[in-house]
Amino acid sequence: MFGFGKMALVVLGTAGFGLGAYAVEGPCDIYAAAGTPCVTAHSTTRALFGKYTGNLYQVRRADGQLKDIPVETAGGYAKSSVQDDFCKGTTCTISKLYDQTEYHNDLVKSPKVFWLKEGGKETNATAAPVTVNGRKLYGIYKTAWSAISYRNNATKGVATGDQEEAMYMVVNGRHYNEKCCFNYGNVETTGNDDGPGTMEAVYFGSDTEWGGPGLGDGPWIAADLEDGVFKGSDAGYLYGKTHTTPWPTAQSFKADFVTAMLTGPNDGTFQLKGADAQTENLITVWDGPRKQGYHPRKLQGAVVLASGGDGSDGGAGTFYEGAMTIGNPPAEVDVKIQKNIAAAGYGSVVEIQPVVIDSSTLAVYKDTLQIPGIIQVEDYDKGGNGLAFNDIDTEHETTLYREDNVGLDSASGAFVYGWSSVGEWMRYSVNVKESVEYDFTARVASASEASGFSLLLDEKEVAKFTVPNTGDWKIFEEIKGKVTLPAGSHVLKLHSDAPYFNVDWIKFAKPGTEGFASLAAGFVNVNQTYNVFDIRGNKVAFFNANSGNLMDSWNATASKIPAGIYLVMNVNSGKSIRLKNTF
């Protein structure tokens, strides 16, 4: 089933977004014209000034060499081919985000702060590819608890005290979590939590613990003002435990790309706005007072990206661009900024020449896996990243169990798939014996909320599962469901929908035969001996089988003994099940 040869993939779309539409005016030109100039301008995708000709960011190769990534033209997009050439055949991290303003408030990995005792880490430079107006570019990719954080504690021009400011960022709308905090904004120079009003940063994610729920199930745009993730006038630690009524204006933003805006006047109010970054439709989700004790502010003027002011490291997200101003721009300026972002063309593609991928390297890892039966997650097909699996978070690759490691780990004496990121998948060549509804069981563990994965058969989703918080990454539980599969040879994919879970194995059984899979667990494709006892404990038969033909072997044995209740025991493992023989 692997005679694919050379397979051509063609990326199609529209070329409706043109560079010329916005090159003469970037977001920071719009802010400057309103008398509220940018004091930071960070992006891995494009210039935020129409005349900017400098570098956008810097990458660090595995051998320690550094390379600046410039813009293609004045006011244009990143020249990502420089990164691709420099990093070819090895790995790179993003070592610096250049500030495009005159203040040069560049961001590098965070120094040691309260929650990052060893300091921050640099993100993998290719972990977040993105298409912007037909160009393959890259973003800043952050997973929870990864220590990826960028910071500058010695800035110039950034608001301090109760000075007015505004800020925005453009992020991947599908990559987020419920933890604190994926931020961009003004934070403490001390690296500590210095109390209410000592920071002001825009947040994107599905937090409810620190700020209560919004409408829908998130993600939401909020303001991290320290000791609270504010969707309105109140927030604080465990606020969502006691205040479960949604903030009535806090809309969920379900889009591929999202603009998140925060404005901070010095009159005791703040505003939050957001948009699908591919449209011009800007929505106000809060315009009102700050919590008592948060005015006047006590801003310190450091700048952070991807973590909290004290280094809080639980958040997840992907950042593409952002800027901060001195002064509070009028509302019509925010509208112009969003039009500019929409014109940039996040997610838009143009017709390009076919890309030829040699798929002849695809092959089964050991044997074609059988359904009904058990699939050990580590036995995905051979073929490497992009063909046999999709590994985004390459930081956690090891050689555990096999060389082409998608993110395997060990837990409770088993090889497991962990370090999951949204959009990752593993491919398995399977043979489905019968076209029936199967009972599905997966052995999973998680210390997070709202994790989950899907099963795809020949690229069509056939089942979706939520992984519960089991209390620890090494405390496993079994989740169950039903899935209908057609007979024959197929490609099964396990697709990560919401990250932070471990999976040990998945097993399929015909209804009423779930126990067979338990008998065979751990002995895939290895012959085992099974003894058959009657209800008085007398051994009446035995047979040999592996997980792929266990039920057939039982049926063949059952046809030779009287009808009744029997105990079938795996001699090797000691596991047993009670079965009713109706032959």
Which residue in the list 193, 207, 310, 395 is annotated as catalytic?
Answer: 310
Q: Catalytic residue at 85? A: no
* Residues β-bridged to residue 14: none
Q: How far apart are CA 189 and CA 309, in angstroms?
A: 9
d(C-alpha 118, C-alpha 330), whole Å: 41
Of 104, 69, 91, 133, which is closest to residue 397 (Cα–Cα)? 91
Q: Is the peptide bond before 354 cis (omega within 30 degrees of 0)?
A: no
CB contact at 8 A, 170 and 345: no
| Residue pointed to by tokens 């309260």 | 114
Q: Got the DSSP string for 459-476?
A: TEEEEEEEEP--SEEEEE
- Name the active-site residue from 209, 224, 226, 504: 226
Distance CA 267, CA 332 (A): 19
E strands in 183-333: 183-187, 200-205, 220-224, 229-230, 257-264, 269-276, 283-289, 302-305, 317-326
Dump the DSSP string for 398-420. Answer: --SSSSS-SSEEEETTEEEE-S-
Going by their DSSP bridges, the two strands 425-432 and 369-371 should be labelled as: parallel
Residue 226 designated active-site: yes
Nearest to 503 by CA among 540, 452, 538, 462: 452
- Phi-psi label, residue 488: left if phi above 0, alpha if psi -120 to 50, beta otherwise: left
Task: List the catalytic residues.
Answer: 226, 310
